[in-house]
Structure 1
Amino acid sequence: MGVQERARKDVPRKARFGPVGWLRWGWRTLTSMRTALILLFLLALGSVPGSLVPQRGVDPDKVARLYEQSPTLAEWYDRFQLFEVFTSAWFAAVYLLLFTSLIGCVVPRTATYLRELRRKPPAAPKNLARLPHSAAFEGDLEVEEAARRLRGLRFRVVTGDGWVSAEKGYLREVGNLFFHVALLGILLAIGAGSLFGYRGNVLVVEGDGFANTVAAYDRYIPGSQVSAESLEPFSLQLSDFQVSYQVEGDKRGQALDYTAHLKVNDSPTALARDYALKVNDPLEVNGTQTYLIGNGYAPVFKVTDGDGQVAFDGPVPCLIEQKTTMTSGCVVKAPDARPSQLGFLLRFLPTSVPLTDGTHVSAFPGQVNPEVQLIGAFTGDLGVRSGKPQSVYELAPPEVMKKLTPLVMGSNVPKPLAVGQSLDLPKGTGKLEFTGVREWMTLQIAYDPGRVPALLSAGVAVVAIAASLLIRRRRVFVRIREGRVDVGGLTRTEGSAAGFAEEFTEIVKALSAGEKDVR
C-alpha cells in the first residue's frame, strides 16, 4: 500500500445525513420558534390578498366586474387562487405547517416547564457581592424569618445552613405556553368552521324573499361535514330597501346609511318578525348570521313579443358599472318570445341628465330621474336552452352573439326611456316597456361554529403574551453569618435587569426592616 493511499485512509470522512438524519433535521427546523414565527408571518401576509382582491364567496359581483374590465388580470388572479384565498391550496399548506410547528413547540416546552416547576431553587452562592444586584446590612435576622418575609413577597423559598434561596416569575413561561396554545385554539377553531360551517351568497330584490335552502343560494360553499339538513330553516322577505346619500358638499353622492327592512321567520312555524338589517349589524338566527354586503337597482321591464304575448315581465338586477353614480348595466332575456327570442342590453341611470352632445349620464346615485338607455336589441337563439350555464349579466356567449340579428344598435338607439315609456321594436318583432324601479341587496349567510372559540382564543393569546412580556423570572439569595446579612439577586430574563433594580431595593428593605443598613 502506497503512502498516498495510507494518507487518504487516515483522513477522517465527513459525516453524511441518512434518511433518519434528514427527517430529524426537518422536524427540528419545522418545530423551532423561528420557523413558527415565519409561518405565522406568512399566514398574515397571505391574508392580505383576501382583503385587497374581491373574494368569490363574499362579493361575486366585483369578481364579475373585474373579469369584464381586466380579463387578463382576472385570469392571473384565478390561477393563483386569489379570488378564494382562504380556501386555496397554498393558504391551507401554510395553515397546516403552522399547526404542526406549534404542536412541536408546545409539547416539549410543556414537559420542560413541568420539570422546572418540580425543581427547587439552587443553593445560595458563597459570594453574593458578585451578583448583578447585591446589598448587605447588620442585624440578627434569622433564616426562618428571612424565608417568611420572602414568602410574603410570593417567592418560592428553599433554606439551608445559614442561607435562603428564593425564586419567582414562573408564570412567564405559562404565558408563553398559553400564547402558543391559544394560537392552536385559533387554528382549531378555523378548522372547525371549515368542516362544520358553511356560507353562501344570494341576491334578493325588493318584494322577493329567501329561504335558507341549498337551492335558493346563488353561490353555496359548505364544509365537508355539512349536509342540506344542517341548514337552519329560517326565511326572510325584503319589504323595502333604503339608502341615504349626501346631497351637498364635496362628498355629494356618498352613501350614508343602508337599511333593509325584512320580515323574518325564524322557523317554518314561527310568526314573522320585523328586522332592520344594516351593514355590520347582521341578522342572527340560532348561530347563523346574515350580513348585508351589497346593493343595486333592479329596473322592472315588460317585453311583448311579435304575437302580442307577454314574454317577460319582472325586475332585472343590474350590475353596477360606476359606483359613484350607480350607473348600471342590465341584460333582459326573453327566451319565450315568438316568433323569435329577444334580448336587450341596457344601461340604467338613477339620475339621468343630458349632455351637450346629446348623450345621457347619471349625476347622482339616488333615484331622482330614473331612465333606461337602450344599448342594443337582438333577436335570435340566445342559447339559454343549450344546457350550458350562462351569466345573468351576459346576454350570450361571444360565439352565440355572432349569430344574433341586431334590431336596434349604434345610431338607431333612441333616447332613454323614463318610467312608463315603451319602445316598439322594428319589423313588428315586439315591444319593450320600462314599468318601474326596485332595489336589490346581496346577502352573505354564514354559519361558523368556530367563531366564538376563535374569539376566546384570541383573547387568551393577548393576555398570555402580555403576561410573558411583563413577568420577569428572578432569584434572590440571602446569607446570614455573624450578625451580617448579605443579599444578592439576579434576573433570568434577558433585558429586564434595569426593571429589577427597584424591586431588589424593595426586597432589601423588607428583609432589613428594623435592622441597621451598612451598604
Structure 2
Amino acid sequence: MTDLQTQPERASIAAHQNSVLRRFGLWLVRRWRWLTSMRTAVVLLFLLALAAVPGSLFPQRSLTPSAVARYFRENPDLAPVLDRLWMFDVFASPWFSATYLLLFISLIGCLVPRCTEHLRALRAEPPPVPRHLHRLPVHTANTVPLPSETVAERLEADLRSARFRVSRRSIPGGVEISAERGRVKETGNLVFHVSLLALLVALAGGKLWGYEGSILVTEGDGFCNSFQQYDRYVAGPLVDPDGLTPLCFDLEDFRATYEPNGTPASFTADIGVQAEPGAATEQTTIGVNDPFRSDGDRLYVTGHGFTPLFTVTLPGGQVFEQLSAPFLPRDSTTFASEGVVKLPDLGDGSGDGFALEGFFAPTGLIQGGVLTSVDARPLNPQVAIIGYRGYLGLDSGAPQSVFTLDQRQIDVGALNQIGEANLDIGESAEFEDGTVVRFDGFREFAALQVSHDPGQVAVLISAITMLLGLLVTLLVRRERVFARIASSQVSSSVDDRSTTVSMAGLALGGNGDIRERLHGLTSSLLGDSQPGQHHGR
C-alpha cells in the first residue's frame, strides 16, 4: 500500500527534476547563443579596449617599475588603493583576463559556424530567380528582337565578363539566369575576425612562453641573460628558467641627448654582445626604438640615470674606492635622483656596516642650504649625502630594497647617523666618527630590458591580415542579378524572334550601382535598337 502511495510522488519529483534540468539547459543555450553572437563579440572587444585604458594612464610594473615606485612616493594615499585595483598591472589583472577570455570564447563560438556556412555558400550556386521580379527594388522588363537562346548566351557572357558567378536554368518557355558576385566581401569579413582571433592567440602565446627581464647597468658593467641577475623578471608559466638564450652584454658607453629645454631626446648605448660563453664579442649600438635582436630575444634601452662614485676612508685607514650604486630619478624633468650606497662589512671585525643615503643633482643649485636640481643635463653635478654606521639588516631575512635603507634599523637604533654633507665633484667631508667621504664623480647607467615574445611574428601577420580583410570588406560590394528570358507570342505586331527579358537586381549597401548594372546589361542586349517596352525603378 505504501509503495502504491509513493509511486505518484516519485513520478512527480522526477518530472519536477526533469523540468528544472530542461529549464536550466534552455537557459544555458540562451546564454551560449548570447555569448557567441557577433554583437556580444563587438561589445567585448569594446570592453577590452576600455579595460586597457588604465594601462596608458598609470605606470606599469612590467614596463617601468621605477615610475611605479615614484608614483607611490608622490601619492602615498592613492597609490595603495590603485594597486589593489590592479592599476599598475592592468594587463595581468583578473578583470582584464576575464574580458580577454570571454572575447576569445565568443569569437570561437561565433566564427566556427559562420566559417562552415560560408564554405557551403562558396560551393553553392547562386539562389534561384524569385517568382515576382517586379517586387524587387530595382527591376526592368524589355522586349529584345533576338531569339531567347541568343539573349541568354549574350547575357550570361556579359555577366561572366563582369566576374559574376552565373547559374542558368531552363524553364517552360524560356530560361532563368541567376548571377552573383561579391561573396569575397563575406570572406574578407571572416578573415578579419579570424585574424583577430589569431591575434588574441598570439598574444596569449607570447604571455605563456615569453619573458621580460629588467636591469640597471652602469657604464663599464655588464650582465648575462639569467633570471637571477635581473632586478625584475616576469616570465610566462611555460617558460623554462634554465633554457634562456645564453647571451651576455657589456655596456661600454651610454649617451643621452637633450632638447633645448633640457628634456631627454634620445638614448644611445654602445654594447658588446657574446652570443654564447667563449664566443667573440660583437660590437653594436642600440637605442630606444632600435633594439638588439638575437634568436627571438630583444634588448631595449628603456631609460637612463646617474650612478655617483665615492671613495670612503674609515677611521682605521681602510679605503674603499669606486663605491657606487644607481640612483633612481624621482623627477623626470630635472633628473634629481635618490639612492643608497651600502657597505655591509667594513672588515674591521666590528660587524658594523656603512651606508650613504644620497640625493644626486645633475645640475645642482643650493637654495637655503637645500640642494636641488634645475636641469637634467649633468652641467654641475652635486650630491647631498647622509652617512650611517651600524647594522644594515641585510641578513635579517626581511625583504629590503637596494635603493633605500631599512627604516626599522634606524628606528630601533641599530643604524645611526654619523654625518651629512653637500659635495661637488672632488670635494670631501669628514663625519663625526672620523670617516671621510669623497665625491669622485658619476657614470651614467642604462635601464635595459630583455624581452622574448614568441608570438611577435604571429601578431604582425595577424594584424596585416586583419587590415587586408577589413579593406576587402569595405571596398567589395555584393550584387545579385536575376533574369527571366521568355519567347514572346507571335502576332502581327511582334516578330516571332522577339524575346521578353525581365531582370531585377539587389545590392548590399545601396541600389545605385545595381541600377547602372541593369542599364548596362539592357543596353548590351539591345545594341543600337530601342526596347519594345521598358519599366522599372
| Equivalent in the alignment of 1:228 | 241
Are the aligned partners of 1:332 and 1:395 in contact in 2 as well (CA < 8 Å)? no
| Equivalent in the alignment of 1:372 | 383
Q: CA shift at 1:352, angstroms?
A: 1.7
User: For 2:500 and 2:212, how far apart are their aligned partners in 1?
Assistant: 70
Quick one: which of 381, 392, 401 aligns to 1:382? Answer: 392
Say if 2:354 is the partner of 1:342. Answer: yes
User: For 2:300 and 2:529, how far apart are their aligned partners in 1?
Assistant: 70
User: For 1:210 and 1:151, how far apart are their aligned partners in 2?
Assistant: 67
| Equivalent in the alignment of 2:218 | 205
Say if 2:266 is the partner of 1:260. Answer: no
Are the aligned partners of 1:351 and 1:370 in contact in 2 as well (CA < 8 Å)? yes
User: For 1:295 and 1:201, how far apart are their aligned partners in 2?
Assistant: 12
The letter of the residue matching 2:89 is E
Q: CA shift at 1:513, angstroms?
A: 4.0
| Equivalent in the alignment of 1:363 | 374
SS in 1 for 2:140: strand
Percent sequence identity is: 39
Q: CA shift at 1:64, angstroms?
A: 1.2
The letter of the residue matching 1:103 is I
| Equivalent in the alignment of 1:290 | 299
Say if 2:465 is the partner of 1:460. Answer: yes
User: For 1:79 and 1:312, how far apart are their aligned partners in 2?
Assistant: 43
Of the structure 1 ranges 444-453 and 330-339, higher mean CA displacement relative to structure 2 is found in: 330-339
Quick one: which of 424, 429, 435 aligns to 2:430? Answer: 424
| Equivalent in the alignment of 2:230 | 217
Q: CA shift at 1:114, angstroms?
A: 2.7
SS in 2 for 1:36: helix
For residues 259-297 of structure 1, what are the alpha-carbon distances to aligned partners after superposition, in whole Å with 9 as ceiling and x for unaligned? 111111222243212211111111101110111111000
Quick one: which of 346, 353, 359 aligns to 2:365? Answer: 353
| Equivalent in the alignment of 1:169 | 182
User: For 1:507 and 1:419, how far apart are their aligned partners in 2?
Assistant: 89
Cα 1:381–1:499, aligned 2, differ >3 Å: closer, same or farther? farther
Quick one: which of 145, 153, 159 aligns to 1:150? Answer: 159
Quick one: which of 474, 477, 496 aligns to 2:510? Answer: 496
Cα 1:185–1:306, aligned 2, differ >3 Å: closer, same or farther? same
Are the aligned partners of 2:155 and 2:521 in contact in 1 as well (CA < 8 Å)? no
Q: 5+ unaligned residues in a row in structure 1: which ranges?
A: 1-14
Say if 2:89 is the partner of 1:89. Answer: no
User: For 1:464 and 1:383, how far apart are their aligned partners in 2?
Assistant: 61
Q: CA shift at 1:385, angstroms?
A: 1.7
User: For 1:135 and 1:484, how far apart are their aligned partners in 2?
Assistant: 14
Quick one: which of 97, 104, 109 aligns to 1:104? Answer: 109
| Equivalent in the alignment of 1:407 | 418
| Equivalent in the alignment of 1:240 | 253
User: For 1:117 and 1:83, how far apart are their aligned partners in 2?
Assistant: 48
The letter of the residue matching 1:426 is E
The letter of the residue matching 1:37 is V
Say if 2:124 is the partner of 1:119. Answer: yes
Under a length normalisation based on structure 2, what TM-score does the superposition of the two structures give?
A: 0.86
The letter of the residue matching 2:516 is E
User: For 2:507 and 2:117, how far apart are their aligned partners in 1?
Assistant: 16
Are the aligned partners of 2:393 and 2:409 in contact in 1 as well (CA < 8 Å)? no
User: For 1:439 and 1:307, how far apart are their aligned partners in 2?
Assistant: 32
| Equivalent in the alignment of 1:192 | 205
Under a length normalisation based on structure 1, what TM-score does the superposition of the two structures give?
A: 0.89
Say if 2:338 is the partner of 1:300. Answer: no
Q: CA shift at 1:400, angstroms?
A: 4.3
The letter of the residue matching 2:501 is D
Say if 2:61 is the partner of 1:56. Answer: yes
Q: CA shift at 1:134, angstroms?
A: 2.2
User: For 1:359 and 1:346, how far apart are their aligned partners in 2?
Assistant: 13
SS in 2 for 1:394: coil
Provide the aligned C-alpha RMSD in A: 2.3
Cα 1:499–1:72, aligned 2, differ >3 Å: closer, same or farther? farther
Number of corresponding residues: 493
SS in 1 for 2:52: helix
The letter of the residue matching 2:505 is L
User: For 1:463 and 1:77, how far apart are their aligned partners in 2?
Assistant: 39
Cα 1:492–1:401, aligned 2, differ >3 Å: closer, same or farther? farther
Of the structure 1 ranges 300-309 and 179-188, higher mean CA displacement relative to structure 2 is found in: 300-309
Q: CA shift at 1:492, angstroms?
A: 5.5
Q: CA shift at 1:515, angstroms?
A: 4.8
Whose radius of gyration is greater, 1 or 2? 2
Quick one: which of 313, 325, 341 aligns to 1:332? Answer: 341
Q: CA shift at 1:258, angstroms?
A: 1.3
For residues 109-163 of structure 1, what are the alpha-carbon distances to aligned partners after superposition, in whole Å with 9 as ceiling and x for unaligned? 1222233234333333455333212234442142222222212211121222322
